[in-house]
Amino acid sequence: MSRYKGPKLRISRRLGDLPGLTRKKSKKSLPAGEHGQQSRKPSEYALRLEEKQKLRFNYGLSEKQLLKNIKTAKKVQGSTGIILLQILEMRLDNTIFRLGLAPTIPSSRQLVNHGHILVNDKIVSICSYQCKPGDAISVREKKVSIELVKKHMEYPGLANIPNHLELYKDKLTAKVNGIIERDWVGLQLNELLVVEYYSRK
């Protein structure tokens, strides 16, 4: 299944707050759909599926991409869930979003795709590029790029910049100082349920 391009508010009503997907907030408190009013206890599978969908929609991944990242995380020593979150958080599109250079992940993906972002003084147009400690991220020195990013910076998506990133607003440059810690992940999620979901596949 390809990347989701449908109504975003419906997804955030169903799954809860997804800062990477949309900044809009629904005035309705109940989940979407005619069955939203019924409060039935969800099954274990439904809980695992919901956590997996949160991850997928927040980071804007296809099922295939998420499965690939899960397989990569399993090969690395340590907690698979935390490593998976670190892989997703260190993606270039998410890093741009967390720096406040774009209000959502889809808009940061557009910045990257259109060649507005430089990594170590080279244009990188691949959203899934894995940022590494020591990488220098900057905005391309073109009037269009600078104006677009400055406009985005007036309304950042998340208030706090994680401690592994450093932003120099006056120069529109940033630096990756390390790997993100679990506490700084901006999504309310139980990553163990996601790992469980795929381990039962």
C-alpha radius of gyration, the chain, whole number = 17
Q: Is 156 in the same domain as 108? A: yes
Q: Is 138 in the same domain as 150? A: yes
pLDDT in tens, 12-57: 666 666 665 666 665 666 655 655 555 667 788 888 888 888 888 8
Which of 129, 52, 45 lies closest to 84 in space, CA to CA? 52
C-alpha distances in Å from residue 48, one per residue of 52, 54, 73, 104, 180: 6, 10, 18, 25, 24
pLDDT band of residue 119 (cuts 50, 70, 90) is: very high
* CATH, residue 148: 3.10.290.10
**Arithmetic mean of pLDDT, 178-185:** 85
Q: Residue 88 phi/psi, 5° resolution?
A: -70, -40
Structural domain count, the chain: 2
Whether 194 is covered by a domain: the verdict is yes
Q: What is the pLDDT of residue 130?
A: 92
pLDDT band of residue 137 (cuts 50, 70, 90) is: very high
Q: Is 64 in the same domain as 102? A: no
Q: Is 118 in the same domain as 166? A: yes
Percent of the chain with pLDDT over 90: 14
Calculate the average pLDDT of the chain: 82
Say yes or no to pLDDT of 144 above 80: yes
**Arithmetic mean of pLDDT, 178-186:** 83
Cα–Cα dist 196/55, whole Å: 14
Whether 34 is covered by a domain: the verdict is no
Cα–Cα dist 177/37, whole Å: 46
Q: What is the pLDDT of residue 175?
A: 92
Whether 53 is covered by a domain: the verdict is yes
pTM over 0.85: no
* CATH, residue 80: 1.10.1050.10
Say yes or no to pLDDT of 74 above 80: yes
- The burial of 103, by beta-carbon neighbours within 10 Å (0-12 exposed, 13-18 middle, 19 or more buried), is given as buried
Q: Is 60 in the same domain as 127? A: no
Q: What is the pLDDT of residue 1?
A: 39
Whether 33 is covered by a domain: the verdict is no
Whether 32 is covered by a domain: the verdict is no
Say yes or no to pLDDT of 189 above 50: yes
5 compared with 125, residue with greater pLDDT: 125
Q: Note the helical H segments in 60-142.
A: 63-75, 80-89, 92-98, 105-113
**Arithmetic mean of pLDDT, 63-69:** 90
**Arithmetic mean of pLDDT, 69-88:** 90
Cα–Cα dist 168/165, whole Å: 10
Whether 112 is covered by a domain: the verdict is yes
